[in-house]
Amino acid sequence: MPEPMQARFHINERDYLRAAVLHARLTPRRWVVLALLLVLLLGWVLAVGTLFDVWAVAIGVSVGCVVILLALRFIVNPLVLRWHYRRYKAIHKEQTITLLDEGVRFDSSNGSSLLTWDLILRWRYNADYVLIYLMPRLFHVVPSTVAAGGFDMERLKADLMRHVGPTA
């Protein structure tokens, strides 16, 4: 049995924003839904334009919807996330992750949480973070920078793959 591995880390505002981007990354299923919505939008533009000969209005409404969605994603969402981070005082504190045979433990000055493998809903990662989900929108952020302190991120990912399954 491998020894329990431990590392300390802080989540700063940049980490919080970038982890939220990873969380919002489109899965293959979401890409299919987005493609279907775009096809429906195109069909709507063609139908409305053909039926009522109001191409300019149909295209204007379609472009407006796309602009609103992009503004929400790239302007409003980051502003709201920054505001949330500043108000979420517990995330500013130092955290400790411990990789155990039975799961992953997170500790901070506020308390401790042992996530046994069966309690982890899913996980995902990129080069900078591993997100460990307790619920569809509730997750722990583990920055890859913990590897500099000797924490084996590859072992964490391998254990997650073995006990939880493939990434979401």
**Residue 128 reports pLDDT greater than 60:** yes
**The pLDDT of residue 2:** 64
List pLDDT tens digits, range 17-29.
Answer: 999 999 988 777 8
pTM of the model: 0.81
List pLDDT tens digits, range 156-165.
Answer: 999 999 999 9
**The pLDDT of residue 158:** 96
Calpha distance 106→140 (Å, rounded): 9
What is the chain's mean pLDDT, rounded?
A: 89
Mean pLDDT, range 104-122, rounded to an integer: 95
List of domains in the chain: 5-11+92-163 (2.30.29), 17-87 (no CATH)
- At 1, the pLDDT band (50, 70, 90 cuts) reads low
- Of all helices (H) and strands (E), which one includes residue 116? strand 111-116
Mean pLDDT, range 95-117, rounded to an integer: 95
**Residue labelled with tokens 């045979």:** 101
Q: Is 138 helix (H, G, I), strand (E, B) or coil?
A: strand
C-alpha distance from residue 79 to each of 22, 71, 72, 90 (Å): 17, 11, 10, 19
Residue 140: name the closest of 152, 122, 167, 126 by CA.
Answer: 122
